[in-house]
Amino acid sequence: MSLSLYNTLTRKKEEFQPLHAPQVGVYLCGPTVYSEAHLGNARGPVVFDVLTRYLRHLGYQVRYVRNITDVGHLESDADTGEDKMEKAARAARIEPMQVAQHFTNRYRQHMLALGCLPPDIEPQASGHIIEQVQVIEEIIANGLAYEVNGSVYFDVPGYNEQHDKEGRYGKLANRSIEDQLAGTRVGLEGQSEKRSPLDFALWKKASPEHIMRWPSPWGEGFPGWHLECSAMSRKYLGELSDIHGGGLDLMFPHHECEIAQSQGSHAHTDEARFWVHNNMITVNGTKMSKSLGNFVLLGDLFTGPTGPLAFGYSPMVVRFFLMQAHYRSPVDVSDDALQAARKGYRKLMNGLRLLDKLDVSGSLSVGSEENKNGPATDSQQLTAEATQLLQLAAKPAEFLNDDLNTPRAMAALFDLLKRFNTLAANPAALAEVGPEALAAAAGTYRTFVQDVLGLRDEPRANAEQLLDLTLSFYSEAKADKAYDKVDVIRAALKSQGIVIKDTKAGVEWAYSEE
């Protein structure tokens, strides 16, 4: 069975076949780096991290591009308001690029903590002005954009006439022209330059006080937000990429505009074959967003308490929580849900520890070509116990193949773990499984937990607390005059680079300076 993904563009699950196997190009719309990331901002990166990890597990060579938006994202989707970056910079009285750098650094730290592998390319919008200007020139040459007072707008009605066959503007979000018109706010500042309220900005003239500005054939200005992704996806993944991802809130207008820009440029493509959208995080059923103020910042979430949450949760627990729902379903954040996730995460980690204790040093490699979808079940003559175990081990891949169903894949890993626990308590059954099948199933468990789901063992305990506990045992042993125990504890700590000091104030520890 091969991987199938739900394609927003066709509104159905489709078998995933790369355009140029074994290469796969994935583009994820990244953050606008003007403020701290909140939990809602983390869902997309985690979902697409699992997807790229799984594609790699299937043997594909993935080029994963996740951009940084550091210019052009205005406060309103209607091409009006201040640039988000400049507004933050003005408030803090610093350079916009300082704001961008600061929040880019923070974002990378948080994503690494959440176990998201760094993208292969992380292009910045401000570093790709030339490419964006080129796309605008192509769209103008194709008669689908016009200049007014130093700004350039995309001509949506003109595009619809020209692209009836490829699908009109609105085909991705499945929105009729009437719907789109109802969503526009006619009469807003800057809107008067547009020939149609449906048109969107490709280039905006910079007002005198605007800091981020670049020269262009239309005078000094800055690119429209939607343009960067079309230009950078094309530069790094070609005129048609395999997968373009983002949150459902980006589907319209952002992704719709991207498709129109690519169709309207010399690329003449939908930019990506698969358009994949993750659903939102909700708080008490309402979408978590900056504008609604019901967000939980990642930095605060890891330490807690914050907002609706009474406790903090470690990055791996948060990652587990995000994977526990299917990516196309909304997921509601609460202490109950995060505590359940913590329980599940710890259970999976205990599974890794159990496997370390079981002797699973068989010779079968689960990472080999024929075993990409889990270990083979038809090789040799397997015992009933072995067959049963290998069938359980094949399930996580089956569920991920079905539109990346992480919750069912995780449930399958729990089933497999349950079986390992049963076997660990029953040596006769374990012997009947045999070392090869056991090694194969254990390898699958490890691979899916660690490499595909990206869950790693977080430090299990606070080292300082463990040290204090050891010192209290030391003091007790000394008081009891149990000098053999005292020596054992001293030696054990010494081997960890810690020396015990008996002072008048009591027992203390210090780093060994030897």
**Would you tell me which residues interact with Zn ion (CB under 5 A)?**
29, 229
Q: Which is nearer to Zn ion, 163 or 255 (CB)?
A: 255
What is the smallest separation between the CB atom of 229 and Zn ion, expressed in angstroms?
A: 3
What is the smallest separation between the CB atom of 271 and Zn ion, expressed in angstroms?
A: 10
Could you give phi then psi for residue 497, rounded to 5 degrees? 80, 25
What is the smallest separation between the CB atom of 172 and Zn ion, expressed in angstroms?
A: 13
Count the Cβ atoms, other than its own, within 10 Å of residue 84.
23
What is the smallest separation between the CB atom of 376 and Zn ion, expressed in angstroms?
A: 41
Task: Please say whether the dihedral angle defined by the alpha carbons of residues 504, 507, 508 and 512, taken in this order, is positive or negative.
Answer: positive
Q: Which is nearer to Zn ion, 66 or 419 (CB)?
A: 66
As a whole number of angstroms, the longest Cα–Cα distance in the chain is 94
Q: Which is nearer to Zn ion, 229 or 438 (CB)?
A: 229
Q: For residues 84 and 210, give the distance between their C-alpha atoms in angstroms, rounded to a whole number.
A: 12
Q: How far apart are the first and last CA of the chain?
A: 59
111 contacts: CB under 8 Å, gap ≥ 6: 42, 45, 118
What is the smallest separation between the CB atom of 212 and Zn ion, expressed in angstroms?
A: 18
Q: Which is nearer to Zn ion, 254 or 342 (CB)?
A: 254
What is the smallest separation between the CB atom of 65 and Zn ion, expressed in angstroms?
A: 10
Could you give phi then psi for residue 63, rounded to 5 degrees? -110, 110
Query: For 254-259, which contacts have Cβ atoms below 8 Å and span 24 or more sequence positions?
Result: 254/29, 254/225, 254/226, 254/229, 255/29, 255/172, 255/173, 256/169, 256/170, 256/171, 256/172, 256/173, 256/175, 257/154, 257/200, 257/224, 257/226, 258/226, 258/229, 258/230, 258/233, 259/171, 259/172
Q: For residues 491 and 497, give the distance between their C-alpha atoms in angstroms, rounded to a whole number.
A: 10
What is the smallest separation between the CB atom of 27 and Zn ion, expressed in angstroms?
A: 8
Residue with the two structure tokens 């949506």: 156
13 contacts: CB under 8 Å, gap ≥ 6: 4, 5, 6, 7, 403
Q: Which is nearer to Zn ion, 229 or 417 (CB)?
A: 229
Across 216-320, the runs of DSSP E, i.e. the strands, are: 221-223, 241-247, 272-278, 281-283, 286-287
Q: Which is nearer to Zn ion, 100 or 229 (CB)?
A: 229
Q: Which is nearer to Zn ion, 233 or 306 (CB)?
A: 233
Q: Which is nearer to Zn ion, 89 or 229 (CB)?
A: 229
Q: For residues 144 and 263, give the distance between their C-alpha atoms in angstroms, rounded to a whole number.
A: 10
What is the smallest separation between the CB atom of 29 and Zn ion, expressed in angstroms?
A: 3
Q: Which is nearer to Zn ion, 232 or 325 (CB)?
A: 232
Specify the amino acid at residue 350.
N
What is the smallest separation between the CB atom of 162 and Zn ion, expressed in angstroms?
A: 23
Q: Tokens at residue 115, please?
A: 């176990």
Q: Which is nearer to Zn ion, 225 or 313 (CB)?
A: 225
Q: Tokens at residue 73, please?
A: 């994202």
Helix (H) or strand (E) holding 503: strand 498-503
Q: For residues 444 and 438, give the distance between their C-alpha atoms in angstroms, rounded to a whole number.
A: 10
What is the smallest separation between the CB atom of 207 and Zn ion, expressed in angstroms?
A: 25
Q: Which is nearer to Zn ion, 111 or 229 (CB)?
A: 229
| Half-sphere CA count of 295, side-chain side, radius 13 A | 17
What is the smallest separation between the CB atom of 448 and Zn ion, expressed in angstroms?
A: 30
